[in-house]
Chain A
Amino acid sequence: MNNQRRTVLKSGSGAALLGLLAAAGIINPGMALAEWNKAAFDAKSMADTLKALGAGTPAESKDVQVTGPDIAENGAVVPVGVSSTLPNVTMVAILIEKNPNALAASFTLPEGTEANVQTRVKMGQTSNVYALVKSDGKFFMATKEIKVTLGGCGG
């Protein structure tokens, strides 16, 4: 299915074909929004991830926030989110510096959707977590450290 979609997107008459495929129920409507950004999710370091996202070196902004608790009782489930008061935010992403692949998730926000998204991520260890925001076509960033604790009996 992935391959099929990729081929479709590469062909010149992609849009029309997509419509047909959607109508035929072959692909889920709305799924063909954008290609899953393999390069960005495969990137290891922060810098490579930002590059793959086309974000360059984002400016730090006080109007962007990594939301969620500063401490996690377990690294398998860490509640984390992004919020921002910047105007016209079209995309937000969550990056975890010390994970094997920094990018955890990215979100496309159509007009009318608030720049305030929460999810839950895995963290291998205590790490800086970054919120990336695209506002008026420019990238901004904020960070905070989230502590992952060992817990329970220890084994």
Chain B
Amino acid sequence: MRRLIPLAITFVVGTVLIVSVFTPPLENIERTFTLFFDIIAVFAFFLGGGNLLRVHISKLRRRKQDWGFSVVTIVGFLGMLMIGLFKLGGSGNIAAPVDETGSLFYIIFDAVLVPLQSTMYSLLAFFVASASYRAFRAKNREATLLLIAAFVILLGRTPFGTMVSGWIPEWLSIAQIPNLAIWIMNSPNLAGQRAILIGIGLGVISMSLRLILGIERSYLGDDNA
């Protein structure tokens, strides 16, 4: 019974959504269910946020290594929570959006989160380089193609690409590196992307059916729990 009801819920909800695609009077149900999801996610945050606090408080209590940083996390979390929920340090207008320009919430977002985000994002520049260094090696046929394609595109996007292949005559202009780069992007790349996309579509259909029909039920836990 404990298992049957969830399976039934999944089946009914999934089926209704599939049918709604073909049934105009049901077309709003997608939006409704998305709203439900958003509301459930807020409730779930009690569990997530609670867990975050629990983990760091227990680190603090047991004086585990680096517990000092847990204090910082807890203070940051609770502080931001208070400022945002009670709209502290804003314009005083309770109806104003929480992130109105000039409010404390906005200032912290701007002065703390924005630099952290963009710096973390920019780490990619380093990792792109180290990954190219390590991965683009002509180990076998597949890796060689990976290397060649990446190399042509890389070269094609610098003035260097024009320099090294500028001598190629006009009638063979396709072999000039910038042109070759564009050709690779538009032809073999397009084919590969298309095959991947079609495959993904089929994979999703098959997995959704397994879930809706209750063939895949690992997420539901055990019968005796």
A joins B in a complex: no
Interface residues of A, Cβ cutoff 8 Å to B: none
